[in-house]
Amino acid sequence: MTAGQSIAYESMMPTFGFEYKKQPLDFQVLFGNSNPVTLEIGFGMGASLAEQAKIYPNRNFIGIEVHRPGVGALLVRMRDMELTNLRLISHDAVEVLGEMIADNSLSLVQLFFPDPWHKRRHHKRRIVKDEFVRLIRAKLTVGGHYHMATDWENYAQHMLRVMQGAKDWSNCSNSNDYVPKPDDRPVTKFQKRGEGLGHGVWDLMFVKESDSLDM
């Protein structure tokens, strides 16, 4: 971390961060209100997440990122932008979702430009897989949305296949594949880098249809 990121991490995490525990978070206590909660997995350096939190002061945001310099960078942005509706954790996303997020508690889950593991032999490392989607579904409220974006076409196709095979999801795409980039999804550093390399960008948006236990 840079000196500024380190100072922000040490001074702000006690207020705006939380430690991993095998205990569900109480969002009312965490944020001091009952506003809807958006969770982003892997926010990188945090620029787009900070922008969303600024745009929507009446929403609460949780960001998960294992790269501590990214956490420090987002804390600096939070300080400079005077954001109070954002909380952070630096820990494995699957463990946080499984142990710390109550079922039926999130209004939106965001997964933007995850590691594509583009070599075929590494595809098994991709975070988007059947069991991960079931976990996301359990944490969303009925009518909650799962929004993914990637600049790797093969990964976009993989994401779509996984979601089409999952139960109780409705695709928000009119053509049953990809949606146009929503206006409120900021362009991320990873998107700019991908576009600079000549990549396209694919957004996928699905809504949880029901609370059926048969997943």
Does residue 41 sit in helix, strand or coil?
strand
Q: Which residues, other chains included, contact 137 with Cβ-Cβ below 8 Å and sequence gap of 6+? A: 146, 166, 168, 169, 208, 215
Enter the DSSP assignment of 117.
-
Residue 155's nearest CA partner among 111, 196, 117 is 117
Note if 115 is an active site residue: yes
Helix (H/G/I), strand (E/B), else coil: 140: strand
- Note the helical H segments in the chain: 3-16, 27-31, 47-55, 68-81, 93-100, 130-139, 153-164, 189-196
Three-point CA angle 36, 39, 42, nearest 5°: 165
Q: Identify the CA nearest to 36 among candidates 128, 109, 106.
A: 106
47 by DSSP, 3-state: which?
Answer: helix
Pair 125, 94: CB distance under 8 Å: no
What are the structure tokens assigned to 60, written together?
């609460």
N-to-C CA span, the chain: 41
Q: Which residue among 26, 80, 103, 115 is the active-site one? A: 115
Q: Which residues are catalytic?
A: 115
